[in-house]
Structures are given as C-alpha cells and as structure tokens.
C-alpha cells in the first residue's frame, strides 16, 4: 500500500544508527530510500547482535523497507555511479542523507553542480566536523553522573542521542523538501550529534538550572525528579514503577492502596501538600516508606488488577524475554507489528512505523534488502544503463 511519502526518493550513504534510522523512518512512510554501500558492506554490516546464521540483526532492523545498491566506492567509476544516482532527475529526487564526512566526490558543492536543486543533509559528530559517537557525547552530557545510585557514572544502554538525531534528520529532510517545493531551491543541512545532546539538555532545563540556580543534579536512582516516582519490589520477586505527576494520578495511588490516613499523616507532620507535584518530591522518602510494605505484601498480578482498576500510572519492570512473552503491546495484538521473513535471518516479529495516519492504512513491513539486491534495476531505471553495460560493470567489479 502507498504511504504518505510515496514518490519521494532519498539516497542514503550511512553507517551505524542515526542516519540509517533517519532513512528507515522515511522509508516506512512510503519514501523510496536507496542505500548505497561499498561492495561487501559498510563498516556496520556485521555489527552485533547477530542472528542464528551470523547475519546482523542490527543492520536488518535499521534498513527495513529500503533498496540496496553495492558499488566499488573506492574507484572513480563507482563514485561516478553513486553521484549519478544521487542527482538523477525527477521532481521528488535529488535528496542525500549521509553521515559520511564531506569529500570531493560526495560533497554538496560537487553534487549541486550536477543538480542545482539538490538537498543534502549531513550528520557530523561535533559542529566543527570532528568525530563523536553516542557514547562520547553521552559521557559529556552529565547524564551518566546522575543515573543510577551515585557510585560512579552509569552509561545508558539506549543510544538515545543517535535515535534523536535520526528523527531530527528525517524531520530536516522533509522541511528542506517542502522549502524546495515552494522555492525550487535546494540546500545543504548540517546537524551534529553533540548539538542534538546540547539542544536536549537546554530544552529540558538542565543548562538553565545550573546557570540560574547553580544546581548540579544529584543521582536519584530510579526516583523521578520533581514529582513522585519510585520503584518497589513485589511479593513475588518482581519490581514495579509507580508514577504520580498530576493530582489525579496521586489520588489514584491513594485510593488504590487505601493508605489515605497514613499518607495524610505526612502532610500533618511536614506541612507539605501532597496534591502538589513538588511537595510529593520533597516527601519522596516518607511516601516510599509507607507504600513499600503494602506493595511487598502483594504479587505482581494482584497489583496489576488493583492498579488497573484504579487507573494508577504504573508499569512492571521486565527483561526482554518478559517483554516479548508477557506484554501484549509487544505482539501481533498491536498493529505496529508483523511477522516477516528476513533473508539470512528468518521469520520474526518486526515493527513498522509507530505513526498511524487516518488517511493511509498501515503499510506492510518490508524486510531489509540483501546487500546490493536492487543494483541492476537501479542502474537501469535511474541511470539508463543497458544489460550489456551492467554485465561489464559486474565483470570489472564496479557493482555487485
């Protein structure tokens, strides 16, 4: 089924997480995203985790719904083919998404000379073009020093800055394409991974909190800063997270637990008003001392029934196996998911786009391509090579 971006053509030169995620985000909305790789695959082609037959599950996950061409990018002819594909004519083409450093052959100046309305978005590590990755950006953010119990820095295993950067890249390309529709002009867009981190730190108030209040956030473990949120062990060895951001959510906790008198005593003893978000944070320890034994006396399933009945904002801690076996959201009951047969990997549960459009039915999830799977058709359709010329390129190991 067509998606909302049907007809939009994007060429991707990328590796690792951010840029491939940006391309996949657009591909799952119907854009024709063509990934160019060197013959044999780019540096992330075999990255862990691996499937039972050795194929990269990481690569397959980040390249769903794309097309693939494999070129000898270390040769002049291979680079010339890549340029021709990037700058191929068509009102909805001429768009490049990349995290490769700017070079003579794929730089904006070179490519825009071949197509004046070219759009090129390039991700770098830092704004000055120097290298950085999620792990080096995250350690500089301050977050690892306020994550966990405070015994040392704790890196988050989620590459959050890569994910955010990939979504920014998708948004940036759509904004530039809209500008081109209005004006007929292309442009180069640049984004730096560390700027994504810095913009987020500023937007969430962390930078202003230090500059205006000289506050350096203390590590709080699993507690929620500025409101009430805490994790508790259950009677059957599981663990739950309970959150109360709003007065209604706090009332739900009080009603579900039946501890109105005990929790009210905190207000009488301290003068705090637990209907206020900040006061719930100030009373965090006292609240936890009252809730903990009540929760520890009940199993996860008992808590589930009580909390859901009273609309408590909560969630169970679960490992990935429990996510896939116990959580209905991570199953075919959720229209996000389909089961697909990924070449080289096998049949497994795969998500499509989390966006659901009223005017478009959810499209089928398409697997990641085999490396170079669409080489011949792309050479024919967009560059005009004949079968004879394609055979010559294969024989010369320019394409694969």
Residues that are catalytic: 162
The CA distance from 106 to 117, in Å, is 15
Q: What CA dihedral angle connects 264, 266, 268 and 270, to 10 degrees?
A: -150
Exposed, middle or buried: residue 182 (CB in 10 Å: 0-12, 13-18, 19+)? exposed
Q: In whole angstroms, what separates CA 119 from the centre of its chain?
A: 23
Sequence-distant (≥ 6) Cβ neighbours of residue 175 within 8 angstroms: none
The CA distance from 230 to 285, in Å, is 10
Which of 57, 37, 39 has its CA nearest to residue 49?
Answer: 57
Encode 257-295: b = buried (16+ Cβ within 10 Å), e = exposed.
Answer: bebeebbeebeeeeebebeebebbbbbbebbbeebeeeb
The CA distance from 262 to 59, in Å, is 53
């Amino acid at each position: 089924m067509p998606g909302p971006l049907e007809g939009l053509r994007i060429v991707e030169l990328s590796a690792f997480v951010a840029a491939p995620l940006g391309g996949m985000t657009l591909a799952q909305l119907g854009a024709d995203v063509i990934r160019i790789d060197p013959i044999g695959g780019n540096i992330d082609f075999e990255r862990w985790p691996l499937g039972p037959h050795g194929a990269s599950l990481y690569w397959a996950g980040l390249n769903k719904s794309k097309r693939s061409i494999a070129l000898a990018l270390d040769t002049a002819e291979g680079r010339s083919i890549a340029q021709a594909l990037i700058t191929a004519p068509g009102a909805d083409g001429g768009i490049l998404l990349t995290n490769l450093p700017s070079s003579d052959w794929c730089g904006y100046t070179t490519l825009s000379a071949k197509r004046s309305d070219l759009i090129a978005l390039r991700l770098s590590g830092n704004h000055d073009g120097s290298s950085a990755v999620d792990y080096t950006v995250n350690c500089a953010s301050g977050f690892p020093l306020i994550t966990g119990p405070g015994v040392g820095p704790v890196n988050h295993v989620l590459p959050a800055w890569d994910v955010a950067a990939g979504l920014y890249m998708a948004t940036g390309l759509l904004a530039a394409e809209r500008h081109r529709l209005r004006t007929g002009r292309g442009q180069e867009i640049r984004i730096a991974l560390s700027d994504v981190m810095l913009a987020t730190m500023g937007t969430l108030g962390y930078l202003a909190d230090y500059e205006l209040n000289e506050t350096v956030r203390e590590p709080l473990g699993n507690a929620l800063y500025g409101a009430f949120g805490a994790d508790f062990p259950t009677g059957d060895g599981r663990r739950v997270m309970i959150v109360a951001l709003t007065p209604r959510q706090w009332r739900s906790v009080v009603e579900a637990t039946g501890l109105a008198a005990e929790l009210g005593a905190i207000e009488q003893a301290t003068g705090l008003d637990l209907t206020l978000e900040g006061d719930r944070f100030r009373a965090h320890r006292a609240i936890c001392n009252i809730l903990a034994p009540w929760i520890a006396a009940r199993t996860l399933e008992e808590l589930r029934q009580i909390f859901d009945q009273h609309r408590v904002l909560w969630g169970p801690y679960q490992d990935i196996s429990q996510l896939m076996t116990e959580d209905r959201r991570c199953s075919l009951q959720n229209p996000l998911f389909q089961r697909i047969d990924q070449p080289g990997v096998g049949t497994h549960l795969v998500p499509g786009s989390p966006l659901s459009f009223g005017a478009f039915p959810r499209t089928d999830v398409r697997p990641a391509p085999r490396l170079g799977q669409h080489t011949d058709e792309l050479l024919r359709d967009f560059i005009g090579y004949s079968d004879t010329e394609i055979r010559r390129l294969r024989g010369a190991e320019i394409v694969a």
